[in-house]
């Protein structure tokens, strides 16, 4: 469904250039839970942003359902981001003046789509948020806020969930709880998860662990 072919990314910096990705070849399978591990600065976020259409690659190709994205226009990337991808970031990025339910359905409403309330309610139940729906984000713990952000990412029914250090602000027990829920929901709703972490223990929850070092794939194995 999603394939990176020789993906390279250069960032111009002053007079020079940073080669953040030096030729990444990867294929993701449907319903796979993949962890991306690697030291700080190795290119994890760059790769995730390219997969999610948030940033452009310098060379190579990103194939979506067998189709090249080389000739994608802004409009094509917008459609891809809005319909195929759900993002979960380390900072939960919830809207402080909207309650939990409003935050979860916001991307659907911004997209002008009808909310599938029974689907959204099943996500809410799976993530254990039923009793918090009218709370504002600042009335929730960090773990609860990240569960809301996960619900929001899942609610648009994306094929792929991209998570960049999603538990970076949570303690280790809460991290395991939140990732366990992410795993259960994605299995239930048939979604692929690509999750960046630098925590070996959390990576073990995935089915596949990809290691990146200095802009290259240094390991790729099924757990
Ligand atoms: P990671 O997420 O693994 O910590 P990043 O993908 O954020 O790594 O960064 C990879 C490399 O690219 C680093 O050397 C970083 O400094 C550089 N980099 C990332 N974003 C930019 C940018 N916008 N401009 C210039 N250099 C960048
Ligand atoms: Mg990063």
HEC sequence for 88-136: EECCCCCCCCCCHHHHHHHHHHHCCCCCCHHHHHHHHHHCCCHHHCCCC
- Taking only the tens place, the pLDDT of each residue in 66-76 is 999 999 999 99
What is the predicted pLDDT for the residue at 186? 82
The residue whose CA is least distant from atom 7 of ligand 1 is 45
Taking the centre of ligand 1 as the mean of its atom positions, its distance from the CA of residue 51, in whole angstroms, is: 15
Confidence of residue 111 (pLDDT cuts 50, 70, 90): confident
Taking the centre of ligand 1 as the mean of its atom positions, its distance from the CA of residue 10, in whole angstroms, is: 10
Taking the centre of ligand 1 as the mean of its atom positions, its distance from the CA of residue 192, in whole angstroms, is: 24
Enter the pTM of the model. Answer: 0.93
The answer to whether 62 touches 50, Cβ cutoff 8 Å, is yes
DSSP state of 223: -
46 touches ligand 1 (CB under 6 Å): yes
What percentage of the chain reaches a pLDDT higher than 90?
77
Q: Examine the pLDDT at 46 and tell me if it is beyond 90.
A: yes
The answer to whether 172 touches 204, Cβ cutoff 8 Å, is no
The residue whose CA is least distant from atom 5 of ligand 1 is 43
The residue whose CA is least distant from atom 25 of ligand 1 is 11
What is the predicted pLDDT for the residue at 131? 97
DSSP state of 58: S
Q: Examine the pLDDT at 174 and tell me if it is beyond 90.
A: no
Q: Examine the pLDDT at 126 and tell me if it is beyond 90.
A: no
């Amino acid at each position: 469904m999603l394939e990176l072919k020789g993906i390279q990314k250069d960032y111009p910096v002053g007079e020079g250039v940073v080669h953040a990705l030096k030729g990444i070849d990867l294929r993701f399978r449907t319903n796979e839970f993949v962890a991306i591990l690697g030291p700080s600065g190795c290119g994890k976020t760059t790769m995730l942003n390219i997969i999610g259409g948030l940033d452009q690659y310098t060379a190579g190709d990103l194939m979506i359902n067998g189709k090249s994205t080389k000739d994608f226009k802004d409009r094509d990337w917008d459609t891809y981001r809005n319909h195929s991808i759900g993002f979960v970031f380390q900072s939960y990025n919830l809207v402080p003046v909207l309650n939990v339910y409003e935050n979860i359905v916001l991307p659907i409403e911004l997209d002008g789509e009808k909310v599938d309330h029974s689907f959204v309610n099943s996500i809410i139940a799976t993530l254990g948020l039923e009793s918090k729906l009218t709370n504002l984000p600042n009335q929730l713990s960090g773990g609860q806020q990240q569960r809301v952000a996960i619900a929001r990412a899942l609610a648009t029914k994306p094929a792929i969930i991209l998570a960049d250090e999603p538990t970076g602000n949570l303690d280790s027990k809460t991290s395991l709880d939140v990732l366990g829920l992410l795993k259960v929901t994605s299995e239930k709703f048939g979604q692929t998860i690509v999750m960046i972490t630098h925590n070996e223990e959390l990576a073990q929850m995935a089915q596949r662990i990809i290691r990146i070092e200095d802009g290259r794939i240094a390991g790729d194995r099924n757990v």
